[in-house]
Chain A
Amino acid sequence: MTVSPTPLSPASLEVGGLAYAYPDGHQALFGVDLTIGRGERVALLGPNGAGKTTLVLHLNGILTGGAGTVTVAGLPVGKRHMAEIRRKVGIVFQDPDDQLFMPTVREDVAFGPAAAGVKGPELEARVHKALAQVGMADFADRPPHHLSFGQRRRVAVATVLVMEPEILVLDEPSSNLDPASRRELADILRSLDVTVLMVTHDLPYALELCPRSVILSEGVIAADGTTGDLLADEDLMRAHRLELPFGFDPKSVKV
């Protein structure tokens, strides 16, 4: 299941020299460089406060104004291509309550394409397809707050898939999920044919889903390599406050 990036087409994501400070003065990024090829699945690891979420918010131009550049599928992130960029970069946020802001599941999934001008039967078809991809087609007319947490997370993924994105960015996809929901989500993610960047503390999940990992620490990329190698490097892991669950040995896992 290794997917090598095709050298001819532009990379899905290129980040160069990215630095950013929040309005309250706190600086989160200190020069991030990262390239992700088309079709790759990459895990973004790092301790709390390393700047992971800040980096994610730069990918579709929500945060701008610092130093450095972000390019998505050859398009620079900036005011000029913003609509295009936001269609290409699908971000699934950590709290599904933030992401699901419409009164019903169907309306919520329809929000993105409807905002892009899709209407009528085509809209219905796309909504149905996206919900079917995450196994939530039967819940279309339910209000989001009546769903379980795992179901809400899957609907949140559908709200992004319906946009047919170039790159899917997931912020802590496995947080607050019970083991069954966690496995179901992994199956869904594996079945998708898109570039994935997954921000996570869940190291076994990263190993399971992502061949490659990068470690973000103190606002810079501190390591970049195959997930198995990084997790097996005990000194590196300790230096960046990353810890494997008790009894978990990455070398014993066959990916």
Chain B
Amino acid sequence: MHVPDGFINAPVSAAAGVVAAGAVAVSLRGARRELDERTAPLAGLVAAFIFAVQMLNFPVAAGTSGHLLGGALAAILVGPYTGVLCVSVVLLMQGVLFADGGLTALGVNITDMAITTTVVAYLVFRGLVKVLPRGRRSVTVASFVAALLSVPAAAVVFTLIYAIGGTTDVSIGKVATAMVGVHVLIGIGEAVITALTVGAVVAVRPDLVYGARGLHRPLKLRVAGELVDAPDTAPAPVAARGSHRKVWITGLVTSLVLAGFVSFYASANPDGLEKVAQDKGIDSKTEKHASDGSPLAGYGVKDVGDARLSGGLAGVIGVGVTVVAGSGIFWVLRRRRTADTSPSQITETV
């Protein structure tokens, strides 16, 4: 999905560049809040991890294999701001070093693959974690859904950008169908592996996963072989949980209802989906690279199977869009209420 130069016209590329620059600037500030002075080394190592994990091939069937895109995984493991930064840096280096993705299309690529995937994944993840009962299983389920939706959401954003600034007049319905269709399939793989990976991390270092924090035991002193409680030096701030829970449940239910409505509307206008489906599978296979075993190994082509689409796919587009919009609105509302008026959320969600 790395967009090359010339695919999107110049004004829209520039506009996407501005959006991307703004979001990266916001993320730089936000990441400093998430990680303070640890931002550079930690985000750098997580970026290296995302880079490496994109090379970890997951066999699908008979010779084809897929790999993780990593946006959702980054957002869930290290938080949305750091996630945006890591994936953006990976895209930047891919563009400059490997010519993967055009330099003028960097803004489009970052908006699409770094910002959309991480933000959507994080909003969905947080929403589900708030609603579901606390526990490891909920974290895994939330990761699955978040990753599942993040990939088609990126396809939707790509389609939108294409609708505004595409350099050919392929009908938007066709592009949307092909992009979203293919990416739903990718999304399923992404979801399974993201969920399993997050599950594996939660099992070993729950403190590293954003959604599974806050388990403390009081300190003890060993005095003459006996364990006694140490005086509490820093009382943990008590977070008001209950009040937000209602907001989140309402938000999720509303967006589900909306999603149903939109998908009903969308599937009522199939726009010749079936016909296009066959000749538009953006089909490609994994390539063996000359430099096997190096960081460039397998740095070839995203794997995508054949796109078998049906009218129901339009529904998935609706679900993606609506969940994003709905969660976004509720996030803004929640931020307002907590009186933490940072410009970030406004620029991102409006």
Are chains A and B touching directly in their complex (CB below 8 angstroms)? yes
Residues of A within 8 A of B (CB): 17, 19-21, 23-25, 27, 30-31, 65-67, 101, 218-220
Chain A residues near B227 (CB-CB < 8 A): 30
Docked-complex contact B234 and A65, CB < 8 angstroms? yes
| Complex Cα spacing A30 to B229, Å | 10
Known A-B contacts A31-B221, A31-B223; A66 and B233 likewise in contact (beta carbons under 8 Å): yes
Known A-B contacts A30-B220, A31-B223, A66-B219; A24 and B205 likewise in contact (beta carbons under 8 Å): yes
Chain B residues near A31 (CB-CB < 8 A): 221-223
Docked-complex contact A25 and B221, CB < 8 angstroms? no
| Complex Cα spacing A21 to B41, Å | 24
Known A-B contacts A66-B233, A67-B233, A101-B41; A20 and B219 likewise in contact (beta carbons under 8 Å): yes
Docked-complex contact A219 and B222, CB < 8 angstroms? yes
Q: For residue A31, which residue of chain B has the nearest CB?
A: B221
Chain A residues near B293 (CB-CB < 8 A): none
B window 92-114: CB within 8 A of A: none
Docked-complex contact B217 and A25, CB < 8 angstroms? yes
B221 touches which one: A23, A67, A101 (CB < 8 A)? Answer: A67
Closest CB of chain A to B207's CB: distance in Å?
A: 4
Docked-complex contact B216 and A65, CB < 8 angstroms? no
Closest CB of chain B to A102's CB: distance in Å?
A: 12
Docked-complex contact B207 and A23, CB < 8 angstroms? yes
| Complex Cα spacing A21 to B216, Å | 9
Known A-B contacts A67-B231, A101-B41; A24 and B219 likewise in contact (beta carbons under 8 Å): no
Chain A residues near B222 (CB-CB < 8 A): 30-31, 218-220
B window 209-231: CB within 8 A of A: 215-217, 219-223, 227, 230-231
Known A-B contacts A19-B219, A219-B222; A67 and B205 likewise in contact (beta carbons under 8 Å): no
| Complex Cα spacing A215 to B222, Å | 16
| Complex Cα spacing A220 to B216, Å | 22
Q: For residue B217, which residue of chain A has the nearest CB?
A: A25
Chain B residues near A20 (CB-CB < 8 A): 219
Docked-complex contact B233 and A17, CB < 8 angstroms? no
| Complex Cα spacing A30 to B206, Å | 24
Chain B residues near A21 (CB-CB < 8 A): 217, 219
Interface centre among B206, B219, B223, B233 (most CB of A within 10 A): B219
Chain A residues near B207 (CB-CB < 8 A): 23-24
Ranked nearest first, the 4 interchain pairs of A and B with the lowest CB-CB distance are A30-B222, A67-B230, A23-B207, A31-B221
Interface centre among B206, B215, B216, B221 (most CB of A within 10 A): B221
Q: For residue B227, which residue of chain A has the nearest CB?
A: A30
| A-B CB pair tally, cutoff 8 Å | 41
| Complex Cα spacing A66 to B233, Å | 7
Docked-complex contact A17 and B215, CB < 8 angstroms? no
A-B contact pairs, 20 of them (CB 8 A): A17-B221, A19-B219, A19-B220, A19-B230, A21-B219, A24-B205, A24-B206, A25-B216, A25-B217, A27-B217, A27-B219, A30-B221, A30-B222, A31-B223, A65-B234, A66-B219, A67-B219, A67-B233, A101-B41, A218-B222
Q: For residue B232, which residue of chain A has the nearest CB?
A: A67
| Complex Cα spacing A25 to B206, Å | 11
Docked-complex contact B230 and A25, CB < 8 angstroms? no
Q: For residue A18, which residue of chain B has the nearest CB?
A: B221
Chain A residues near B206 (CB-CB < 8 A): 24
| Complex Cα spacing A217 to B220, Å | 15
B window 257-316: CB within 8 A of A: none
| Complex Cα spacing A205 to B223, Å | 32
Given contacts A30-B222, A67-B231, 7 further A-B contacts (CB under 8 A): A19-B230, A23-B216, A24-B206, A25-B215, A30-B221, A65-B233, A66-B219
Closest CB of chain A to B44's CB: distance in Å?
A: 9
Chain A residues near B223 (CB-CB < 8 A): 31
| Complex Cα spacing A34 to B22, Å | 51
Q: For residue B221, which residue of chain A has the nearest CB?
A: A31
Docked-complex contact B220 and A27, CB < 8 angstroms? yes
| Complex Cα spacing A17 to B41, Å | 32
Closest CB of chain A to B33's CB: distance in Å?
A: 18
Interface centre among B217, B222, B231 (most CB of A within 10 A): B222
Docked-complex contact A19 and B221, CB < 8 angstroms? yes
Closest CB of chain A to B329's CB: distance in Å?
A: 33
Closest CB of chain B to A147's CB: distance in Å?
A: 21
| Complex Cα spacing A133 to B234, Å | 43
Chain B residues near A66 (CB-CB < 8 A): 219, 230, 233
B window 181-220: CB within 8 A of A: 205-207, 215-217, 219-220
Closest CB of chain B to A63's CB: distance in Å?
A: 13
Q: For residue A24, which residue of chain B has the nearest CB?
A: B207
Chain B residues near A219 (CB-CB < 8 A): 222
Q: For residue A220, which residue of chain B has the nearest CB?
A: B222
Q: For residue B205, which residue of chain A has the nearest CB?
A: A24
Closest CB of chain B to A208's CB: distance in Å?
A: 32
Closest CB of chain A to B326's CB: distance in Å?
A: 33
Chain A residues near B221 (CB-CB < 8 A): 17, 19, 30-31, 67
Closest CB of chain A to B262's CB: distance in Å?
A: 42
| Complex Cα spacing A23 to B208, Å | 10
Chain A residues near B220 (CB-CB < 8 A): 19, 27, 30
| Complex Cα spacing A104 to B184, Å | 45
Q: For residue B206, which residue of chain A has the nearest CB?
A: A24
| Complex Cα spacing A67 to B218, Å | 11
Chain B residues near A24 (CB-CB < 8 A): 205-207, 215
Q: For residue B216, which residue of chain A has the nearest CB?
A: A25
Interface centre among A17, A31, A218 (most CB of B within 10 A): A31
Q: For residue A22, which residue of chain B has the nearest CB?
A: B207
Closest CB of chain B to A27's CB: distance in Å?
A: 6
